[in-house]
Amino acid sequence: MTNKNKKTLFLMSGILTGIVFISSILDAVPGTLFGSIWFFRIAWLLMSVSAFLNYYNLRKTEKK
């Protein structure tokens, strides 16, 4: 897989996980993970941040 494909995949996954995180914040009756909504929200937030950080690092290395 080329860096361009990885970069696109990280960007798309970051956007999608960010949407899921925001919708879980706005949801009146949220789902749960291990009995707590906060584990669910933190897990989606970490996945989103991780995807955006990987995208940023790949973009930065492409510019060098």
Is residue 14 packed enough to be buried (19+ CB in 10 Å), middle (13-18) or exposed (0-12)?
buried
How far apart CA 43 and CA 34 sit, in angstroms, is 11
Q: What is the domain count for the chain?
A: 1
pLDDT digits (tens, 9 = 90+) for 4-62: 889 999 999 999 999 998 988 887 665 566 667 788 888 899 999 999 999 999 999 88
pLDDT value at position 27? 77
Q: Write out the residue range of the structural domain in which residue 58 sits.
A: 3-63
| This prediction's pTM | 0.80
